[in-house]
Amino acid sequence: MDGVHDLGGREGFGPVRWQLDDDHQPFHEDWEARAWALFLVFMRYGYPAWTLDWCRHVKERIGPIDYLSHNYFDLWTQTAMAITIEDGVADLDEFVQGQARFKPKGPPSQQPAIRSAEGAPAFAIGETVRVKHLLPDDHTRRPGYTRGRGGIVEDCIGLRPLADASARGEIRDEYLYSVAFDGSELWPEAVGRRDRIFVDLWESYLETP
Amino acid sequence: MTEYNADKIGEIHRHLHSELPSEPALRVKALESVLVEKELFTSADIDKWVDAYTEKVGPINGGKVVARAWVDAAFKARLLADGTKAFDELGFKSRVDSDLKTVENTASVQNLVVCTLCSCYPLHLLGMSPTWYKSNEYRARAVRDPRGVLREFGVEIDDDVEVRVWDSTSERRFLVLPQRPPGTETWPEDKLARLVTRNAMIGTQRDLTPESL
């Protein structure tokens, strides 16, 4: 999905304001700790139907202006509400009133469909690959800044569930690679800099240039 | 039952945006009240996780891994070859679906970790991630202008030092193995572990300072 969550390389953002962050204060308000803990408990409840990638995708679907401006923990709160409403576990009015009106039938019952993989990896370590240009309009872990760019396969990590499929409730194993991109392949101003960007990419994201 | 229907989710978000109070504390309260009343879980379940994350778990587990690698060359070799297995040796139970990768800083390499697509972070080794790690600014700029970002953290990288940025796009989590500072040759492992900062293990600090302990 070509959304604003895909932030890598977007320009116009100012300095990283790390000085505002007290090293020993992971949460700045009590409700932030509560929201974080709630989401962890929530994910355990919905496992394995509410996969991590489904949760990520639901967060990505928050309107772009809210996504960029709301507090990080608040985004997870809204994500949890949206997941339960879509699933039928809760409805909008209950959250507006802050009161439950019905009990769900039980934890999400469906098991993700398991699709196993066959065959050897298509790409070898050291091989030049290119990231496919067209981005699917749903969940993917292929960052926009890698589209159409060439890199070198640094490592084959092995068969891992493809994130795009997990977000649809399917466990489909596919080879995962670490691909190294020269900074200058991605950004015009990086020519001459010794920068390399390493991105984990699944086999179906890649092609031979 | 979920249909994994993203269009429906978009519509739900728009309703939530217009009908819910904008105050985040009220929103999380509404979420907790409704789901606890529905008996999805209890408030005590949430309390447990609040305690786990606020009792300063911090980055000490990551520090222990780094210190062991500094004092034990064979462990370091195993750590760089297969981080997941080496972490388990120290008694950290890895999540089954998550791989751990350690990347080593040297005189000619500085590593930097980011998650441009969301906020992936080795929580069980470093505790809760800092606010800046999850910020739009860091996620946008770390892959494009890593040297500029490092300069903002007070870290100047020489032109002949390579910067390697690791974007956490899969379930692999990254830990930077910083260089052992000179003057710590006689230090015991537990003191070395306390020297290692969270930012050094993310990559936004290059030199550790023995005089800080």
**pLDDT tens, B11-50?**
999 999 999 999 999 999 999 999 999 999 999 999 999 9
Beta bridge partners of B173: B100
A6 burial level (CB within 10 Å; 0-12, 13-18, 19+):
buried
At residue A22 the predicted structure's pLDDT band, cuts being 50, 70 and 90, is low
Q: What structural domains and CATH numbers belong to chain B? A: 6-54 (no CATH), 60-212 (3.90.330.10)
pLDDT-based confidence at A110, cuts 50/70/90?
confident
Does the pLDDT value for residue A171 go beyond 60? yes
Rounded CA gap, B33 and A44, in Å? Answer: 18
Q: Which of B27, B115, B149, B202 to mutate to test the interface with A (most CBs of A within 10 A)?
A: B27
> What whole-number distance in Å separates Cα of residue B75 and Cα of residue B77?
5
Q: What is the DSSP letter of A111?
A: P
The structural architecture, per CATH, of the domain A114-207 is: Roll (2.30)
Q: What is the pLDDT of residue B124?
A: 84
Q: Residues B108-117: what's their mean pLDDT?
A: 98
- What tokens does A53 get? 């990638």
Partner-chain contact B25 A138, CB within 8 Å: no
The ipTM estimated for the assembled molecules is: 0.97
Reported as a single tens digit per residue, the pLDDT across A30-78 is: 999 999 999 999 999 998 899 999 999 999 999 999 999 999 999 999 9
Residue B25 forms contact with A (CB below 8 Å): yes
**DSSP at A21:** S
CA distance A35 to A42: 10
Question: Quick one: CA dihedral A179, A180, A184, A188, positive or negative?
Answer: positive
pLDDT of residue B52: 84
The whole-angstrom distance between residue A145's C-alpha and the CA centroid of its chain comes to 15
Tell me which CATH code domain A18-97 carries.
1.10.472.20
Which pLDDT score, from 0 to 100, does residue A23 have?
61
Residues of B acting as catalytic residues: 115, 118-120
Task: Dump pLDDT digits (tens) for B75-84.
Answer: 999 999 988 8
Name the residue in chain B with its Cα closest to that of A33.
Answer: B50
Q: Which residues pair with B102 in a beta bridge?
A: B175
Query: Which chain A residues contact residue B45 at CB under 8 A?
Result: 41
The answer, yes or no, to whether residue B96 has pLDDT greater than 60, is no
| pLDDT over 70 at A165, yes or no | yes
**Residue B131 φ/ψ, nearest 5 degrees:** -60, -40
Q: What is the Cα–Cα distance from A129 to A195, expressed in whole angstroms?
A: 18
Choose among A17, A198, A202: nearest Cβ to B165.
A198
Q: Please indicate if any CB of chain B lies within 8 Å of the CB of A39.
A: no
A69 inside 8 A of chain B by CB: no
Q: Which residues of chain A make contact with B37, given a CB cutoff of 8 A?
A: 99-100
| Cβ <8 Å between B136 and A68 | yes
Assess contact for B114 and B143: CB atoms under 8 A.
yes
What pLDDT, in 10s, does the model give residues B144-201?
Answer: 999 999 999 999 999 999 999 999 999 999 999 999 999 999 999 999 999 999 999 9
Check: pTM over 0.90? Answer yes or no.
yes
| Paired tokens of A6 | 């895909």
pLDDT above 60 (res A163): yes
**B40/A35 Cβ within 8 A:** no
Q: What pLDDT, on the 0 to 100 scale, is given for residue B94?
A: 58
Domain boundaries, chain A: 18-97, 114-207
Q: What is the mean pLDDT of residues B56-61?
A: 78
| Residues in A touching B2 (Cβ below 8 Å) | 49-50, 54, 83, 86-87, 108, 110, 169
